[in-house]
Structure 1
Amino acid sequence: MFTLNHLAPALLGAVLLTTVANAQSAAVDSVYTNEGTLAVNVKEITETGIRYTYPNEDVVNTVFKNSVYRVKYKSGRVQSFTEALALNPITGGDDWEKVVLSKLESEIKGLYKLEDVNAKAKGTTEFSNVNKVKNRAFDKLRMETAMLGGNVVFLTDQATNGNLYGSRFQSARSTETFLSGIAYSNRRPSYADFMTQLGTGRDFYLWETQRLGNNSTEISKTFNNTVAHIDSVTDENGQVFVTVSGTEITPGRYRLTYFDTKKIVLMVRDRRQIINLVLGMP
């Protein structure tokens, strides 16, 4: 005669099998992006993106590889993607040399568009080195992009006029380079994370003010040691805007470009210049 003691091993085995089966059916792939991890089922890796579906859904979504660091498949295998890894995080204007120049639209797919950038450089005489003048213009374009919080600048237009030597019939002219582009980033500051870090605190130290004028080729810096007060924070279509005031700050609305546990970087742009405020944690 069978008893409960005889049935216990069989019941336990059935429960274990059911648990394992449910765990296997619930297992998903993990796609690690700049803005978090997607728990999904990866369907296909294309030249520019990753196609996936959410659990219990049939709709196929796509995320561009520029914003993906790696994928951990349910099998345990891990695949990394150099597209996102090649783009360095920008913490402010000092990181301008890390900005990547791009001329291919495929390289900016999936990136976040920030603002237009423009740069001009001119030689001092008609004997100026054309390449050095051109390099100054590219450096200026990367400085603008870094101060806007971008790590990629997509070049849309480039024009260089060579030196024109003077003669009896024409005036001398030094070489000039004109560049136009669009600043992009593969990551954006998170409003939720920023608010969590702020907590109830709103007073910070203004460590440094950086400025880049429209006609400047270098970032100027003013070192401060005054209090900056954050009046309000808003999230507008994924961009975080901060209203800030202080004794050495022009009160106004700034865009958050970077933050960590030690500093906050805010940006504002007018017709004459780009300004970065570097705030230190209290």
Structure 2
Amino acid sequence: MKTLAFLLTSFLLSVSFCMAQVDTVYTHTSKIPCVVKEITPEFVKYSFPGEELINTVYKNAVQKIVFKSGREEIFAPSAHSKKVANLHAFENVTITLEKNEVNGFLKLGEASSIAQGNTMFSALNQVEDRAQKRLKIFAAMMGGNLVYITQNEATKASSWGSNNVRYSKPTESFLTGMVYSTDVLDINKFKARIGGKTEFSAVESANFTGTTTSIRVYPSKRILKLRSIKEENGLLTIEGSLEGASKHKAFRVASFDEEFFHIFYEDKGTAYNIKMKI
């Protein structure tokens, strides 16, 4: 037994010594023992110990680097992102036209919105503001806090006529964007939070069609029965059944805290966000 304990202690000390001889890059989802080669405005470049191949990770995804000397370099959160705890904080969603501002963050999916002026005289910027608001609401319901615009089409009001009949087309704005989250949900923390429970009761339901600028929120007692939880490409998904959504067998976890978690799904162009009591 003494020999076994000695060997185990020697192994742990050896591992600790080896780790101390390399740098460690901490991302939002992992810890990478490596040799940091270069830090550029967009990337952290590194090699694994004993290798020459250069790997890269976006700086947006890096929280800190602990160098083998013991020095730490902390990377500030993206200046372009804010915390969106739930769908009611949609105003904190950031919209960007710069692709490099979303590099390294978790992609949640695509969202689109369209807004029209109430009359021919509606200002284009007011219509665009409404389209952006709808995009922010949709992103918040998905659990996102950052939207990269991939398509932006706007038309000003116009009119024409013939044979004494006059036609008009109102001002219109159409936006499509990719929704991102700067935070990755931890499946182990979520499992620990809910314990061994497999049945949950909703306290609030919300839906949004993208053709209005307001979310429909109402009390709810829908029951969610959980069969399994899985994580794939950073997305946390519950497989199970939900009252009122019988054809859906999987629901993505948009966010969670000590008391509640929110699930998200879409059906026929409508986004749903259900608040479940833990």
Hey, what's the Cα distance between the residues in 1 that align with 2:21 and 2:152?
A: 50
211, 231, 234: which one aligns with 1:235: 231
Q: Which amino acid aligns with 1:204?
A: F
User: Does the CA-based 8 Å contact 2:80-2:94 persist in structure 1?
Assistant: no
Secondary structure class of the residue paired with 2:135: helix
Distance 1:108-1:129 versus aligned 2 partners, 3 A rule: same
Aligned to 1:136: 130
Hey, what's the Cα distance between the residues in 2 that align with 1:40 and 1:88?
A: 30
1:48 and 2:42 matched: yes
Aligned to 1:38: 32
Aligned to 2:61: 67
Q: 1:201-240 to 2 correspondence within 5 Å?
A: 201-225=197-221, 227-240=223-236
Aligned to 2:7: none
Please report how far the alpha carbon of residue 229 of structure 1 lies from its aligned counterpart in structure 2 after TM superposition.
2.8
Q: Which amino acid aligns with 2:235?
A: Q
TM-score, normalised on structure 1? 0.81
Q: Which amino acid aligns with 2:209?
A: G
Distance 1:86-1:138 versus aligned 2 partners, 3 A rule: closer
Please report how far the alpha carbon of residue 50 of structure 1 lies from its aligned counterpart in structure 2 after TM superposition.
0.7
Secondary structure class of the residue paired with 1:172: strand
148, 172, 177: which one aligns with 1:154: 148
246, 263, 268: which one aligns with 2:265: 268
Secondary structure class of the residue paired with 1:170: strand
Aligned to 2:169: 173
Task: In structure 2, list runs of 5 or more residues that go unmatched.
Answer: 1-12
Relative to structure 2, which stretch is displaced further, 109-118 or 246-255?
Answer: 246-255
Aligned to 2:252: 255
Aligned to 2:89: 95
Hey, what's the Cα distance between the residues in 2 that align with 1:141 and 1:104?
A: 17
Q: Which amino acid aligns with 1:202?
A: T
User: Does the CA-based 8 Å contact 1:188-1:257 persist in structure 2?
Assistant: no
Secondary structure class of the residue paired with 1:240: strand
Deviations 1:190-216 (A, max 9, x none): 333323333312233312111111322
1:191 and 2:187 matched: yes
Hey, what's the Cα distance between the residues in 2 that align with 1:72 and 1:85?
A: 22
Distance 1:258-1:122 versus aligned 2 partners, 3 A rule: same
Hey, what's the Cα distance between the residues in 1 that align with 2:272 and 2:48?
A: 42
Task: In structure 1, list runs of 5 or more residues that go unmatched.
Answer: 1-18
* Moved beyond 6 Å, runs of 4+: none
1:29 and 2:29 matched: no
TM-score, normalised on structure 2? 0.82
Deviations 1:200-250 (A, max 9, x none): 122333121111113222111112246533232233343222134455665
Please report how far the alpha carbon of residue 46 of structure 1 lies from its aligned counterpart in structure 2 after TM superposition.
1.4
Distance 1:41-1:240 versus aligned 2 partners, 3 A rule: same
Please report how far the alpha carbon of residue 70 of structure 1 lies from its aligned counterpart in structure 2 after TM superposition.
2.3
Q: Which amino acid aligns with 2:234?
A: G
Aligned to 1:125: 119
Q: Cα RMSD between the aligned structures?
A: 2.7
User: Does the CA-based 8 Å contact 2:20-2:68 persist in structure 1?
Assistant: no
Relative to structure 2, which stretch is displaced further, 116-125 or 244-253?
Answer: 244-253
Deviations 1:148-188 (A, max 9, x none): 22221111111222223577563233211111111122333
Q: Which amino acid aligns with 2:43?
A: G
User: Does the CA-based 8 Å contact 2:152-2:176 persist in structure 1?
Assistant: yes
244, 266, 274: which one aligns with 1:277: 274
Identity within the alignment, %: 27
Hey, what's the Cα distance between the residues in 2 that align with 1:25 and 1:126?
A: 67
User: Does the CA-based 8 Å contact 2:111-2:139 persist in structure 1?
Assistant: yes
Please report how far the alpha carbon of residue 83 of structure 1 lies from its aligned counterpart in structure 2 after TM superposition.
5.2
Hey, what's the Cα distance between the residues in 1 that align with 2:183 and 2:35?
A: 23
Q: Which amino acid aligns with 1:103?
A: L
Hey, what's the Cα distance between the residues in 1 that align with 2:79 and 2:52?
A: 30
